[in-house]
Structure 1
Amino acid sequence: MKATGIVRRIDDLGRIVIPKEIRRSFRIKEGDPLEIYTDSEGEVIFKKYSPIGELSNFAGQYAEVLHKDAGMPVVITDNDHVIAVSGISKREVLERRVSKSLEELMENRQIHIKTDKVPSMNAIEGFDRRAQIVYPIIYGGDVSGAVAVFDDENRTLPSEADIKLVQVAASFLGKQME
């Protein structure tokens, strides 16, 4: 564990303030759920909770099926990181952070579909390939991640069937978290 040099006191209600610098670097916003872990040495560890992260094995299998059927690379994310991938090297993208534009798209509960007038979007930080279709995964009224299909060298625009497959995948993953 890395020491920050920042010390905070617990108030009379048992609360502690997580410094702004740490919240910013870990993208922790007001209302974000945090898991609390303890160990035998008295350490208390806070970790951003990801409901879809609990389904990473299942999401990985779903990404593989979607890639096989759509023939395009598929990425499934939680709100912060890539949790499943198929059709792209796992080492290349797994655990990478989502881009600011994907973060905004999820926050606004929007979808993204590449058209003649709308270009594909940068969805993963530090990754050159761009997403053609992105649908947010909604669980309990909140966005918990996204399903994205990436550009494939064989296609220029996604088909209606591709769009429907991604929409169904996002809806299905949201239902699995209930």
Structure 2
Amino acid sequence: MKATGIIRRIDDLGRIVIPKEIRKTMHIRESNPLEIFTEKDGSIILKKYSPIGEMGSNAQQCAESIASQLPHTVCICDQDSVIAAAGPNAKKLLGKLLHEKSEEALSERKNLLMHRESKNFFPFISDFPEVFQYVCLATIISEGDAVGFVCILSIDEELTEQELMVARVGAGFLGKQLEN
């Protein structure tokens, strides 16, 4: 655990303000759920809650199932990062943060098919050495909330509406799994 040097008081309703700098660094936005943990030494730990991250092996199995039928990289992402991946470049993508425009697309519940030369293109993953020329994103919706993406990525082979439909089916399946 790293000390920040910031001290806050609890108000009369039991609330505490998380400083803006920390919220920005940790990608915490208004209405993001936080999970609360306690330690025996009296520490309280706040952690961003990721319903997709809680799926663990199910998300990985979904990515592997889709990738087994396509020659592309398939990722399952929560609101901030890649939590499961299969296909080419999969191991390099796990844990990578999403580009801020990916987060915007999620909040807008977009399903996108993008080519690097198109007007709506954005890199999808922050700080990734290889640029995917083609990106397909389908938003995972669970209980009315946009909670993540199913992504199909390609470096050199154009993605079509068919891949977008596959991603949408995967996103629909994961959304239903989260509701059960």
Q: What's the TM-score, normalizing by structure 2?
A: 0.91
- Code of the residue aligned with 1:163 in structure 2: it is L
- Residues 87-102 of structure 1 aligned to structure 2 (within 5 Å): 87-102=87-102
CA distance in 1, matches of 2:116, 2:55: 35
Task: Name the amino acid aligned to 2:63.
Answer: A
Confirm or deny that 1:144 pairs with 2:147: yes
**1:13 positional shift:** 1.1
Pairing partner for 2:131 from 129, 132, 135:
129
Return the letter of the residue paired with 2:174. L
User: What one-letter code is carried by the residue in structure 2 that aligns with 1:129?
Assistant: V
Aligned to 1:73: 73
Q: Which residue matches 1:8?
A: 8
Q: From the superposition, tell whether residues 32 and 116 of structure 1 become closer, same or farther in structure 2 (CA, over 3 Å).
A: closer
CA displacement at 1:90 relative to structure 2: 4.2
User: In the TM superposition, what whole-angstrom CA distance separates every residue of 1:56-87 from its partner, at most 9, and x where no partner exists?
Assistant: 21111110110111221101100011100001
Unaligned runs of 5+ in 2: none
Partner residue, 2:23: 23
Q: For residues 9-60 of structure 1, what are the alpha-carbon distances to aligned partners after superposition, in whole Å with 9 as ceiling and x for unaligned?
A: 1111111111111111111111111000001111100001111111121111
Shift of the alpha carbon at 1:132? 2.0
Which ranges of structure 1 fall in alignment gaps of 5 or more residues? none
Report how far residue 173 of structure 1 moved: 0.5
Contact 2:113–2:161 (Cα < 8 Å) also in 1: no
Segments of 4+ moved more than 4 angstroms:
none
Distance 1:88 1:116 in 2: 19
For residues 131 and 66 of structure 2, what CA distance do their matches in structure 1 show? 18
Question: How many residues were matched structurally?
Answer: 176
Taking the aligned partners of 1:91 and 1:67, their CA distance within structure 2 comes to: 13
Q: What's the offset of the Cα at 1:91?
A: 3.9
The two structures, once aligned, show a CA RMSD in angstroms of 1.7
